[in-house]
């Protein structure tokens, strides 16, 4: 079994031109999509040509690529037998392939007939001209609204020379960024829900002021008739991108091993965090009692001035995580300010007696600009943030389209680099509170998180746990239902530590016959490697897939499981035969 090589071509000239014009280039976010999915790839910064076919089985082209030597090189690569993927680009081939471009803003892409259409923020469809000699295959469809007629295919594929080109109408990496982070910096209130269920225009700048979901089409109602966002669109787009690449590779008789999201034996992760608003000792005592009763560890986001020293020590003695609850709320005399963020971080380290702060969540989900918060976290060695979540009863759920822990991307003034802060957003807060979500959202939210194997992060304020029996029952039901569904509860620090450890694993091909080397400077426990089956192997193993738990569908692709176990340094994995062999170096 040979291992495929995936290259990502970046047109450096287009990239630099965009930055000079103060424009973003969010297609670069494919790096984060692949890194989080554990997919090995390499950036290609030099123009490609037909010789690249010998090195790259699949080449992904970022950007428009409308003309020049870069476009000519890509042509030669495909003509020589390469397989090219583009996300909304390749306008330089429109006339040659006799296509028309149809540009549209936000809409929906149905990738499979039975699936929920996926929201996007813009698309450029290719449609054949009336007289065209190009034979194309179309997959999925694009619509302006979920229930309207289709405007064209979501993906077109066509032969070109000895190779093939697959072009998505949607720029998937850019769409994922928009869903997770918005399309513009937050400098003003967002538009409220027309039905009055989410008045986000209250004069406080927050994370949800930058949301791009549609109040009408992207919500359904819970058990008591309250609307919420039930769809992890960004996670589904990530999976669609990765699944497409894996399918191309396996159809050509090769494989592309990738690292699983969680340790061996862990199917889904849940997390509970608290915000210490009002800082009352009795609220903390009630919360500690609840956590003891339920036997879980949680993340405590501390608002200045915090609890007493004795209470802070008690929280840590029970192995809960102390985190920052940065306060920028003007009505409480605070401002959105880098200096005060650093001062509040130092305060927590002092009163908490901790040498590091791993996690932060902003008070009231306050958020301004685009990347200020993440850069402040970087500057103060805070590795994870939890601010991106709903502030109103009518916008709970997958407000930002994701339950995955992810690295955000910076604005153009920081050259669209990935920010070294792991975002772990939350889904809702204080379930069972009279003015917040009720119990009926627990099951559907858990089911969706488990499906995409993200993090089911729920916020419970200590003051609400102390004041409302309904909130205490909500937390009990959440923990019971999550455990019954196979979720394991981790703190924010545990999620951050694992995610960074698995991302540190470097996969390199030792030879073309199916030998991999896994390397990491971290101690890795219970790592799982998935090896996609080729088309021929799937035909041979069609009966085995129903019987063998080591072969299963991962992101829609049949894969063989390789459990690595605990290791540090390097591990060699031979997947060339029917059996997988590992050896530690």
**Strand pairing class (428-429; 455-459):** parallel
**Strand pairing class (42-44; 6-10):** parallel
pLDDT, mean of residues 296-302: 99
Q: Tell me the chain's radius of gyration from C-alpha atoms.
A: 24
pLDDT at 574 (0 to 100): 86
Q: Burial of 363 by CB count in 10 Å (0-12 exposed, 13-18 middle, 19+ buried)?
A: buried
Q: Facing residues of 418 across strands?
A: 409
Compute the distance between CA of residue 531 and CA of residue 551 in angstroms, rounded to an integer: 9
Q: Tokens in use for 149?
A: 């007629």
Q: For 47-51, 327-331, 391-395, 447-451, which range has the lowest pLDDT when averaged over its residues?
A: 47-51
Residue 62 banded pLDDT, cuts 50, 70, 90: very high
pLDDT at 363 (0 to 100): 98
pLDDT in tens, 275-294: 999 999 999 999 999 999 99
Other CB atoms within a 10 A radius of the CB of residue 554 amount to 22
Compute the distance between CA of residue 555 and CA of residue 535 in angstroms, rounded to an integer: 16
pLDDT in tens, 546-566: 444 589 999 999 999 999 988
Q: For 145-159, 303-317, 486-500, which range has the lowest pLDDT when averaged over its residues?
A: 145-159
Q: Tokens in use for 344?
A: 């509040």
pLDDT in tens, 462-471: 999 999 999 9
pLDDT in tens, 502-536: 999 999 888 756 788 999 999 998 999 999 999 87
Residue 51 banded pLDDT, cuts 50, 70, 90: confident
pTM of the model: 0.96
Percent of the chain with pLDDT strictly greater than 90: 83
Tell whether the model's pLDDT for residue 35 goes beyond 80: yes
Domain parsing of the chain, residue ranges: 265-499, 506-584
Evaluate the omega torsion of the peptide bond into residue 150 and state whether it is cis, within 30 degrees of 0: no
pLDDT in tens, 351-406: 999 999 999 999 999 999 999 999 999 999 999 999 999 999 999 999 999 999 99
pLDDT, mean of residues 189-209: 97
pLDDT at 546 (0 to 100): 44
| Eight-state DSSP code of residue 206 | B
pLDDT at 419 (0 to 100): 99
pLDDT at 158 (0 to 100): 92
Residue with tokens 């560890």: 297
CATH 3.20.20.370 fits 265-499, yes or no: yes
Q: Which residue has the higher pLDDT, 310 or 577?
A: 310
Q: Which span out of 70-84, 135-149, 441-455 was modeled with the highest average pLDDT? A: 441-455
pLDDT at 547 (0 to 100): 41
Phi, psi of 532 (to 5 degrees): -60, 135
* Nearest to 252, CA basis, from 348, 166, 371: 166
pLDDT, mean of residues 539-545: 54
For the chain, give the mean pLDDT. Answer: 93
Compute the distance between CA of residue 64 and CA of residue 76 in angstroms, rounded to an integer: 17
* Nearest to 430, CA basis, from 399, 455, 466: 466
pLDDT at 545 (0 to 100): 45
Give Cα 335 to chain centroid, integer Å. 30
pLDDT, mean of residues 326-338: 96
Measured CA to CA in angstroms, residue 210 lies from 198, 341, 372, 407, 429 at distances of: 13, 21, 14, 17, 19
Which positions ≥6 away from 579 have C-beta within 8 Å? none
């Amino acid at each position: 079994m040979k291992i495929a090589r995936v290259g990502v071509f970046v047109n450096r000239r287009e990239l630099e031109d965009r930055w000079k014009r103060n424009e973003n280039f969010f297609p670069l976010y494919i790096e984060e999509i692949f890194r989080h999915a554990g997919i090995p790839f390499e950036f290609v910064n030099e123009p490609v040509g037909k010789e690249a076919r010998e090195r790259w089985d699949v080449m992904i082209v970022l950007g428009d690529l409308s003309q020049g030597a870069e476009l000519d090189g890509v042509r030669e690569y495909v003509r020589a037998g390469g397989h090219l993927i583009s996300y909304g680009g390749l306008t330089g081939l429109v006339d040659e392939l006799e296509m028309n471009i149809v540009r549209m803003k936000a809409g929906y892409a149905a990738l499979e007939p039975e699936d929920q259409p996926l929201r996007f923020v813009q698309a450029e469809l290719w449609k054949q001209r009336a007289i065209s000699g190009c034979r194309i295959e179309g997959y999925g469809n694009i619509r302006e609204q979920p229930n309207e007629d289709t405007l064209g295919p979501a993906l077109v594929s066509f032969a070109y020379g000895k190779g093939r080109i697959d072009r998505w109408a949607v720029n998937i990496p850019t769409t994922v960024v928009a869903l997770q982070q918005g399309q513009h910096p937050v400098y003003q209130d967002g538009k409220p829900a027309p039905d009055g269920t989410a008045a986000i225009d209250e004069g406080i700048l927050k994370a949800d002021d930058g949301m791009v979901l549609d109040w009408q089409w992207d919500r359904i109602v819970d058990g008591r008739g309250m609307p919420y966002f039930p769809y992890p669109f960004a996670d589904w787009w990530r999976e669609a991108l990765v699944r497409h690449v894996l399918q191309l590779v396996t159809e050509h008789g090769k494989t592309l091993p990738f690292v699983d999201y969680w340790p061996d034996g862990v199917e889904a992760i849940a997390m509970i965090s608290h915000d210490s608003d009002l800082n009352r000792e009795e609220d903390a005592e009630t919360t500690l009692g609840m956590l003891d009763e339920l036997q879980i560890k949680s993340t405590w986001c501390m608002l200045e001035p915090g609890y007493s020293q004795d209470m802070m020590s008690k929280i840590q003695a029970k192995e809960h995580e102390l985190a920052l609850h940065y306060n920028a709320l003007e009505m409480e005399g605070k401002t959105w300010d880098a200096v005060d963020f650093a001062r509040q971080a130092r305060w927590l380290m002092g009163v908490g007696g901790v040498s590091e702060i791993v996690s932060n969540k902003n008070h009231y989900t306050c958020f301004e600009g685009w990347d200020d918060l993440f850069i402040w976290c970087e500057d103060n060695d805070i590795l994870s943030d939890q601010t991106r979540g709903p502030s109103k009863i009518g916008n709970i759920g997958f407000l930002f389209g994701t339950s995955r822990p992810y690295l955000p991307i910076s604005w153009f003034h920081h050259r669209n680099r990935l920010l070294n802060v792991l975002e772990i957003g939350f889904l809702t807060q204080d379930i069972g509170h009279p003015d917040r979500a009720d119990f009926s959202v627990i099951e559907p939210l858990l089911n969706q998180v488990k499906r995409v194997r993200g993090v089911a992060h729920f916020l419970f304020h200590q003051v609400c746990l102390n004041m409302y029996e309904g909130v205490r029952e909500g937390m009990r039901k959440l923990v019971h239902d999550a455990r019954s569904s196979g979720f394991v509860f981790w703190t924010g620090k545990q999620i951050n530590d694992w995610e960074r450890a698995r991302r540190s694993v470097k996969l390199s091909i030792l030879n073309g016959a199916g030998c991999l080397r896994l390397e990491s400077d971290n101690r890795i426990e219970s790592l799982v490697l998935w090896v996609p089956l080729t088309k021929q192997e799937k035909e041979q193993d069609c009966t085995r897939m129903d019987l063998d738990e080591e072969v299963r569908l991962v992101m829609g692709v049949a894969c063989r499981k390789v459990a690595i176990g605990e290791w540090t340094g390097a591990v060699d994995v031979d997947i060339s035969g029917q059996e997988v062999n590992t050896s530690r170096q």
